[in-house]
Structure 1
């Protein structure tokens, strides 16, 4: 399942005075659930799923699992990435190849398929495979938030690691790991062995992007930097400065490759976001992770649970 996230509206200065009692406009997207139908709650394999109408966008929906935000989808505009972490992953997608060039992408974790929609809309003819273990969630998303028929998006009902183990060698331009069980990254998807499988799946010049979540102390994030650094020579981290200081629980994005990353372009894109963000790399990233040990299949633990009130 795709990862927990925080709306990029937070701190953006947009008006959030509308209340739940206010009337909601009907969606204008290409089919699917409309705001006039209201929110939807349904049990899925991984917990209780909720599709919640967005207050500012008439065709947009947030997906929550057991109260934890997972994805946001705008049926009228699949290029809209409403969560901070999705926006940062979107920057990495934008910089994976010249604009408009099709990509071959392996998504580990699907959720509402937000990032797969983004790739399909911005890079027509891209070939995408999504690993999503929650078949009931995929069925819900396909019914209520349908995909365009022309998009080449294949969803496999399987564990992310098992899909990665079977992925063709050197077949993907981009591997995106956004694997969460509820609000935690499962241990078996956090290891050097898992990262080596991702590296094997990448074509020459390909990149690996990972969404994780951490809070005070950031010991999990430091370990993940060491883990990716044990496999890839090039690495950077994108996150909110408050998260990097351990002031709040939130998402951190790691990007890794065997060739240099487009750090200057990435920094410029992050600087344009409504939500504050920083790109750490090189010596500053090494200092940040100093002393952390890589996670292995024998030692790994899931990412920490969010503290109470993390999503309020």
Structure 2
């Protein structure tokens, strides 16, 4: 019976390790981005903690191979998991916000995940020793195999359950809360059944309830001022907020902590998303657009304005986050969805599986420095985009960058890669073409011929925006591309290139 209890316990704790490891990425990504630096930091810290835990757990088990100590370690693991949740809410922004996306996630991982993983790592060697104490010293190999089997099986289940079930339906803070609480319950139950000192046990149970309540309170605290909605999406944390700093009088969609779409609260106008105005260039095409593709829906400001400008066009929107379409109907005035077809899919996969050509393609998937889809920055991707652009079509892309030569490696790489497929690319600053501060830029290109729509706009003056758009153009001669990287599927070090900008932004 005891042998089965130990196997079941290591199955559970092995699952807890992977629940925390998978959740850790979603814990840090709002602050540092879902980048390779974040993933590498978490994996390195957790593996390092487990390695030290194996070593310490084996030595401790040899000195004191008692079931009460085994379950006490599980209880301590639960305690540190709950404290991790509180620490995340209280200190992650204030302590690590200025460290950038390289050093920041490594230090944050050490603070948050090292100690819980250390305690959970101590359990496997301890379980092997406990099995040996049950008169099975001649089966040390079998005992070890059983422990590692059940622990690894638990990890597999924990990983799959977290990714496919828990995160989309429960939320990261509550996942961590429930994991910590479960460890506390298992630890306390083991201490009770194996005759731990009852006076101390009552204190442990009371402390467990207090910490669980505190964690629940902190888990409900909003990350962003003015939040009116938040949820864990499939790929990032989603929040809607009103009147946040720098966005007074506006409603903003935040993906993780990056502003994705903005509308005016007064009338719901999508033109609070300033780069949406560049769709007006499409009115200068020789023929009115019939098919428009928007890669990246966000708050659906671009599709809304496209529908306003081109009421007869069929508009396809590809957005990988499943919740955003319905969310935009509720919070971002996406009231009329006729002529708008929404695809919940990766943008590049959509293009690879489609034969359709478009008169306007608007790429809006680079809305944040900290979470740029690298597979949609490469020369192969833009070649695929070009295949889907009609002969007289127009391509627009919203890109965040900087004209400061000291930290614009991503921006210059983006220009070089984009221009290698679209040589007539022209670049426009949303705020100021002379500013060295990070800002949004719009790349404008056509599939064939001269890209002279800006000159046409200045002459025709169909709108105030078109009459002045030329004043926002960036002089390409001032952008040195000699050292710029050509981004390919084989080599696209996006996180490294944007690191200087993340530190500033």
Shorter-chain TM range is: 0.7 to 0.9
Q: What is the rounded CA distance, in whole Å, between the counterparts of 2:481 and 2:227 in structure 1?
A: 48
Aligned twin of 1:69:
259
Aligned twin of 1:52:
241
Partner secondary structure for residue 298 of structure 2? coil
Is the CA contact 1:172–1:201 (under 8 Å) kept in the aligned structure 2?
yes
Is the CA contact 2:268–2:332 (under 8 Å) kept in the aligned structure 1?
no
1:105 Cα shift?
A: 0.8
Aligned twin of 1:187:
374
Structure with the higher helix share, 1 or 2: 2
Q: What is the rounded CA distance, in whole Å, between the counterparts of 1:266 and 1:67 in structure 2?
A: 36
Q: What is the rounded CA distance, in whole Å, between the counterparts of 2:380 and 2:349 in structure 1?
A: 12
Aligned twin of 2:420:
230
Is the CA contact 2:227–2:239 (under 8 Å) kept in the aligned structure 1?
no
C-alpha distance 244-162 of structure 1, shift in aligned 2 (>3 A): farther
Is the CA contact 2:368–2:400 (under 8 Å) kept in the aligned structure 1?
no
Q: Deviations over 1:137-183 (max 9, x none)?
A: 333223333533453111111111101212325x1001111114754
Aligned twin of 1:31:
none
C-alpha distance 241-126 of structure 1, shift in aligned 2 (>3 A): closer
Is the CA contact 1:132–1:157 (under 8 Å) kept in the aligned structure 2?
yes
Is the CA contact 1:270–1:278 (under 8 Å) kept in the aligned structure 2?
no
Is the CA contact 2:431–2:439 (under 8 Å) kept in the aligned structure 1?
no
C-alpha distance 209-150 of structure 1, shift in aligned 2 (>3 A): closer
C-alpha distance 148-138 of structure 1, shift in aligned 2 (>3 A): closer
1:76 Cα shift?
A: 7.8
C-alpha distance 302-125 of structure 1, shift in aligned 2 (>3 A): same
- Within a 5 Å distance, the mapping from 1:123-142 to structure 2 comes to 123-142=310-329
Partner secondary structure for residue 110 of structure 1? coil
Match of 1:214 among 401, 407, 413: 401
Query: In the alignment, is residue 41 of structure 1 matched against residue 230 of structure 2?
Result: yes
Aligned twin of 1:251:
440
Query: In the alignment, is residue 285 of structure 1 matched against residue 476 of structure 2?
Result: yes
Q: Deviations over 1:242-266 (max 9, x none)?
A: 5765x21121111111222212245
Partner secondary structure for residue 473 of structure 2? strand
Q: What is the rounded CA distance, in whole Å, between the counterparts of 1:83 and 1:252 in structure 2?
A: 12
Which ranges of structure 1 fall in alignment gaps of 5 or more residues? Answer: 1-36
Aligned twin of 1:296:
488
Partner secondary structure for residue 85 of structure 1? helix
Aligned twin of 1:14:
none
Is the CA contact 1:238–1:252 (under 8 Å) kept in the aligned structure 2?
yes
Q: What is the rounded CA distance, in whole Å, between the counterparts of 1:277 and 1:308 in structure 2?
A: 29
Is the CA contact 1:85–1:253 (under 8 Å) kept in the aligned structure 2?
yes
Aligned twin of 1:161:
348
Q: What is the rounded CA distance, in whole Å, between the counterparts of 2:387 and 2:267 in structure 1?
A: 34
Is the CA contact 1:75–1:145 (under 8 Å) kept in the aligned structure 2?
no
Is the CA contact 1:79–1:122 (under 8 Å) kept in the aligned structure 2?
no
Aligned twin of 1:18:
none
1:214 Cα shift?
A: 1.9
Q: What is the rounded CA distance, in whole Å, between the counterparts of 1:132 and 1:232 in structure 2?
A: 24
Structure 1 stretch 286-295 or stretch 249-258: which is displaced more? 286-295
Query: In the alignment, is residue 83 of structure 1 matched against residue 277 of structure 2?
Result: no
1:188 Cα shift?
A: 0.6
1:270 Cα shift?
A: 6.1
Partner secondary structure for residue 488 of structure 2? coil
Query: In the alignment, is residue 307 of structure 1 matched against residue 502 of structure 2?
Result: yes
Report how many aligned residue pairs link the two structures: 262
Structure 1 stretch 110-119 or stretch 222-231: which is displaced more? 222-231
Aligned twin of 1:172:
358
Which ranges of structure 2 fall in alignment gaps of 5 or more residues? Answer: 1-225
C-alpha distance 288-181 of structure 1, shift in aligned 2 (>3 A): closer
C-alpha distance 165-77 of structure 1, shift in aligned 2 (>3 A): farther
TM-score by length of 1: 0.72
C-alpha distance 121-75 of structure 1, shift in aligned 2 (>3 A): farther
Q: Which has the higher contact order (CA 8 A, sep 6+)?
A: 1
Q: What is the rounded CA distance, in whole Å, between the counterparts of 2:418 and 2:298 in structure 1?
A: 24
1:239 Cα shift?
A: 0.9
Root-mean-square deviation (Å): 3.1
Q: What is the rounded CA distance, in whole Å, between the counterparts of 1:69 and 1:271 in structure 2?
A: 28
Structure 1 stretch 211-220 or stretch 153-162: which is displaced more? 211-220
TM-score by length of 2: 0.46
Partner secondary structure for residue 445 of structure 2? strand
Structure with the higher strand share, 1 or 2: 1
Q: What is the rounded CA distance, in whole Å, between the counterparts of 2:392 and 2:401 in structure 1?
A: 29
Q: What is the rounded CA distance, in whole Å, between the counterparts of 1:123 and 1:221 in structure 2?
A: 31
Q: What is the rounded CA distance, in whole Å, between the counterparts of 1:259 and 1:229 in structure 2?
A: 14
Aligned twin of 2:299:
112
